[in-house]
A = this chain, B = another copy of it.
Amino acid sequence: MTPAEFHVYDTTLRDGAQREGISYSVADKLAIARLLDELGVGFIEGGWPGALPSDTEFFARAADELRLKHATLVAFGATRKPGTVVTEDPQVAALLDSRAPAWCLVAKSDVRHVTRALRTTPQENLAMIADTVGYGVSQGRRVFLDCEHFFDGYAADPDYAVAVVETGFAAGADVVVLCDTNGGMLPSGVTRVVTELRARLGGDPRLGIHCQDDTACAVANTVSAVEAGVMHIQGTANGYGERPGNADLFACLGNLACKLGMDVLPGDGLAHLTRVSHAVAEIANLAPDAHQAYVGHAAFAHKAGLHASAIKVDPQLYNHIDPARVGNDMRILVTEMAGRASIELKAREMGLDLAGHPDATGRIVTRVKELESRGWSFEAADASFELLVKDELATGLPRHFALDSYRVIVEHLGDGTVVSEATVKLRVGRRRIIATAEGNGPVNALDSALRQALSSHYPQLSEVSLADYKVRILPGGTGTDAVTRVLVESTDGAREWTTVGVHDNVVEASWHALADALVYRLERRT
């Protein structure tokens, strides 16, 4: 099966943007469209021109700026309003103005929604569909018809739901998409309805599927629909969408490619799944979901000490696919439950061989367990773990600098201005250095003061910058206070690394992570 016959349709930029907390700029949307095109999806639904000003602007800029290699851009819209003429509907005019070569028109297919929400007659709804699809086709557009609430509609009045589908095809729709808008379906129901519908329609019409995740079955429902003969799937990057979300397009693609053997993406698209997933999360300003199927950071991560020793024997016995197929890696987690085997494997990932160092390995295991019981987490902070291992292997890292003291001041002044200032006092060798810097916050000021203090001795640190900063408050165990865990991601342009600090004071926790980040960089060249 080739991608030319089967449609991979992405609606991250329209339906996916309904997710709580997401708000894309036009530049964000253009960046996501480029990523999806690199992945090789066939269709990118860019938004609803006319409904949102930023969507109108997106299509204007997309027509001029986007040079898509694989994907066709699709504008989303609705059928004309009841009792109006399609050529006079401003929303339909906005679709034309968008210059998008394809339209996806949403239509009601549940008769209850027609009468109660749309407040028109079932007959007029069919006329609206015929008119609007026909108009798009007459204007040279490729038209897809999204049948909203199709499965609920089919359950309530199957004849009417089928009439909607038939009207769409008769008017020239390229695909009629069955939408589980409320997300209430299970795979068995999707299989049954698609099978019955195909039998009623006869021939081989191209049906599509659009699932929401309200039963936690959106991916399964999508795959089941494909197994039942659907040739067009709609999903979103990382499953972003309203309520529990849409079908995660990446899990759908992983399943179709790796489980059903379908050739769903051109070239080596599948190998970009993990990268594109994380990049979209970054743009959406959401933390990537570590536990996401196929692409999550933990998707192939093994924790149990039990497994870790067996994995050395034959990794493929413990992974459902080779992680490299989707651009992901197997990881061994350093955790409280991990024993020596996990720590050795993890160190080997970093190019450090612990095989000949049983004493150091024992000390590392003890130290990791002790620190993790106090809230440190090395799972996300590979650089801090590497420093700890090197420290034990070498019986102490060289001390690049020694802190005497620091002081951070934040003031909200009488005029409303807020100022932050940090002073760091440290020693490099025998030389004592005092540096003071301002920043837009206490951690930024501390970071600046530390770099300034070290810059003359270690000029290579000038390339290092803070890429991300995360703070988490961890409730303490019984009878202990909460602690703050800080993760700092640093970059020197070529590489990124993450360090961790834990303390009941957020500034001190940040200090640990910031200092580790610079020491890690200094260790790499010495």
List chain A positions with a Cβ less than 8 A from chain B: 17-21, 23, 25, 27, 52, 110, 112-113, 116-117, 149, 182-184, 186-188, 191, 213-217, 219-221, 223-224, 227, 242-245, 248, 251, 254-255, 259-260, 285, 290-294, 296, 298-304, 310, 313-314, 317-321, 333, 335-337, 372-373, 377, 379, 403-414, 418, 420, 440-443, 468-471, 473-475, 477-478, 481, 484, 503-508, 511
CA distance A408 to B507 in the complex (A): 12
* A403 contact set on B, CB distance < 8 A: 412
Contact flag A410-B117 (CB < 8 Å), given A244-B291, A293-B215, A299-B214:
no
* Nearest CB of chain B from residue A100's CB, rounded to whole Å: 20
Please give, as numbers and ranges, the residues of chain B lying within 8 Å of A223 by CB-CB distance. Answer: 186-188, 217
Question: What residues of B have a CB within 8 angstroms of the CB of A321 in the complex?
Answer: 184
Copies in the complex: 2
Q: Do B27 and A319 touch across chains, with their CB atoms under 8 A apart?
A: no
Q: What are 20 A-B pairs with beta-carbon distances under 8 A?
A: A20-B303, A20-B333, A23-B372, A116-B313, A182-B319, A183-B293, A187-B223, A188-B191, A188-B224, A242-B302, A243-B298, A243-B299, A408-B410, A410-B505, A412-B511, A442-B442, A468-B473, A470-B473, A471-B471, A506-B506
Question: Which residues of B lie under 8 Å from residue A471 when comparing CB positions?
Answer: 471, 473, 506
Q: Are B414 and A404 in contact (CB under 8 A)?
A: yes
Indicate if the CB atoms of A21 and B377 lie closer than 8 Å. Answer: yes
Q: A405 contacts which chain B residues (CB < 8 A)?
A: 411-414
Interface pair A409/B409, CB less than 8 Å apart: yes
Question: Nearest-CB distance from A460 to chain B (Å)?
Answer: 25
**Whole-angstrom CA separation of A314 from B420 in the bound complex:** 52
Partner of A117, one of B23, B314, B507: B314
